[in-house]
Amino acid sequence: MKEYSNLNMAGAEEALLKAAQRWFIQHGYELDKEKNNHLFALEFKNRKDLPEGGFDISGTDTGAMISASSLSGQFAALGQFLRGCMISENGFIPPKPSGVSLPEKPVRMTYFAVHFHNFYHDAPLVKVAEYIYDLAMYGYNALLLRFDYSHYQSIDDQEALKMISRLKKLFNIAEHCGMEPGLMIIANEGYKSTPDHLKADGRYNQNGYFTRLRGWRDILVCPSVPCGTEYILNLHEQQFKIFSGIKLKYIAIWAYNYGGCTCSNCAPWGAKGYLNLINPIADQALKYFKDVKIILSTYHFDAFIHGEWEQFKNKMNKKDIQADYIIVEPGVPEMDENPEKVSAKRREIAGLPVLGFPEICMRGMRPWGGFGANPMPTYLQQLWSKHGEQMDGGLPYSEGIFDDINKFILSRLYWYGAYDVRKAVLEYAYSFFSPDLVEDICEAIYDMEETLFRKRFKLDADENLIPASKDIKGGFNVPTGPVKFIIENPDKIEKIYRNMLRIDSELSPSTAKTWRWRILLLRAMNDYGLLKNNWYVTDEILENLYELRRIYEAENAEYKLDPPIRNFVKQPL
């Protein structure tokens, strides 16, 4: 196999060139422009006969040609090509041309939750841009963002305008690598300045609601009170107007978490108050975004009130609601209790395609990603085996880069449909770490999933263990005093630790320094430190947590997204 020192990308967009150059640098090699006698020519060509996102990588006399009908397809093809390269300090060996590849699922979106001072909120834009490029090379073709009204007094708030500016820049970056922008809104969202007489009702034990609404906030607006709907529509139109320079492809309208109203005129929210808002919001959106697609969310339907899903489905089947997709929520309990949501009968719901909203960042660990990467290959395989065939794609929910491997796994599922997730883990290990250690790395990643789940406990005045969450008002504040992070299934912790240290010693120096490897290795080291120190955060792992904080750009993050440095104790108790 011939080794090359340089790569010529004729016909490539600038964003593609930047993505390729950065890929090689991350892998310890900088393309040598002086050595044209060892030049591999990777040509780019538009081919309109290929479906959106699809590509063809064919051989040429001097290298290979990427043909695609869209920039999204070119990025996906470049990603496949680069992941197949064997890179050393002396050059690279390209993969064999792989031919035509067509995505199985048309909607391959990812959702960045830009809030709480997480990576997407606080990291330098250049770092977020690099990560968006990576996701485009995974095959994602859309980016969903949200402007959270609840943090501000109004859209004219200086901090609000700052956030809007950041979101616009993220959308522009996404468009430069072929990802279509999408905006997520809460149906009855309000600012901090919501007048009392317009506020929604969040009480339960009334009108059929048997438990509190998750994430409900006292600034939401009731559309059933006089002037309530007009007030809501005015707020949304302000947002649509300010984003009108962006070519939005999607608007996802959320019902719960944190929307909703439990008053008698709105209940059940998902089938009444929420649905009554959809057409007016859709009409507004179409004024500003000509071809926008409207996505409805059923996230948490039937979780707070019985019969909501059935009533929603019956009203949707009248086909007078303007919608293009419906989000269901695989991975939460009520989903499994209502298998009809993603059964073969799903197209009875007004004939609309269904999207998934897989949970890839909050399962099993709080702070989220607080001890390192959170791989969940077995969970995602099970989820896909149950629901994937009925999905037209999805939008994994992300709070940061610690869930990167899960995004990659889902990108492969969206691309190939029926697929063995283990192949995705092996590809991830091959392309980001080492072709020679793929089996060992794959085994460690699967083992880490088994040790993911942990619970937080503290000692009360009588030295009894009680859930640390007892001190967390609203579920998010910092627990007082030292906290035990007890891993539920610790059997493989020491094995993972030994194996990861050995693998680390065998990696190239450049690979061992990459953030993707560090968050996996630090997870192994942190879990071992907890095991050896009675489940407390001690000196043994404190520096690791500081490193994670730097990787996540989480210096100002809220507790749920900051490695648990705040729970440090000098000695295990």
Residue 443 corresponds to which tokens in the numbers above? 């085994």
Please report, for the chain, the start and end positions of each structural domain, with discontinuous segments joined by +: 6-101, 182-352, 438-567
Residue 306 corresponds to which tokens in the numbers above? 């019985």
Q: What is the pLDDT of residue 153?
A: 97
Half-sphere exposure of 297 (CA within 13 A, CB side): 22
A 10 A CB-CB count for 318 gives 8
- All residue ranges of the chain with pLDDT < 50 are 331-335, 339-347, 472-476
Q: What is the pLDDT of residue 434?
A: 97
Q: What is the pLDDT of residue 347?
A: 45
3-state secondary structure of 143: strand
| Cis-peptide, bond into residue 358, ω within 30° of zero | no
3-state secondary structure of 424: helix
Measure Cα distances from 392 to 92, 106, 111, 388, 447 in Å: 37, 6, 16, 8, 30
Handedness of CA 168, 171, 177, 178 (dihedral sign): negative
> Measured between alpha carbons, how far is 353 from 293 in angstroms, rounded to an integer?
12
Query: What is the separation of C-alpha 414 from the centre of its chain, rounded to a whole number of angstroms?
Result: 14
With vertex at residue 59, the alpha carbon angle to CA 407 and CA 37, rounded to the nearest 5 degrees, is: 100
Per-residue pLDDT reduced to its tens digit, 343-381:
434 445 778 999 999 999 999 999 999 999 999 999 999
Q: What is 6-101's CATH number?
A: 3.30.379.10
Query: What is the separation of C-alpha 4 from the centre of its chain, rounded to a whole number of angstroms?
Result: 35
Instruction: Enter the DSSP assignment of 286.
Output: H
Q: What is the pLDDT of residue 573?
A: 55
Q: What is the pLDDT of residue 430?
A: 98
Please, are residues 74 and 12 in contact by the beta-carbon 8 Å criterion? yes
Q: What is the pLDDT of residue 330?
A: 66
For the chain, the maximum distance between any two Cα atoms, rounded to a whole number of angstroms, is 77
Q: What is the pLDDT of residue 336?
A: 52
> Measured between alpha carbons, how far is 309 from 128 in angstroms, rounded to an integer?
37
Per-residue pLDDT reduced to its tens digit, 553-573:
999 999 999 999 988 887 655
> Measured between alpha carbons, how far is 269 from 266 in angstroms, rounded to an integer?
5
Runs of H (alpha helix) within 177-227: none
DSSP string computed for 38-95: GEEEEEEEE-TTSPTT-EEEEEETTEEEEEESSHHHHHHHHHHHHHH-EEETTEEEPP
Q: What is the pLDDT of residue 215?
A: 87
A 10 A CB-CB count for 525 gives 22
> Measured between alpha carbons, how far is 237 from 240 in angstroms, rounded to an integer?
5
Q: Which of 541, 527, 531 is nearest to 570 (CA)?
A: 541
Please, are residues 213 and 107 in contact by the beta-carbon 8 Å criterion? no
Q: What is the pLDDT of residue 348?
A: 54
> Measured between alpha carbons, how far is 511 from 238 in angstroms, rounded to an integer?
46
Spell out the residues 6+ positions from residue 537 whose beta carbon is closer than 8 angstroms to its own.
Answer: 482, 483, 485, 530, 545, 564, 565, 567, 568, 569
Give kind and range of the element (H or E) at residue 295.
strand 293-297
Handedness of CA 527, 528, 531, 533 (dihedral sign): negative
Measure Cα distances from 44 to 36, 40, 105, 134, 246 in Å: 19, 13, 24, 19, 27
Q: Which of 6, 82, 1, 2 is nearest to 37 (CA)?
A: 6
A 10 A CB-CB count for 330 gives 22
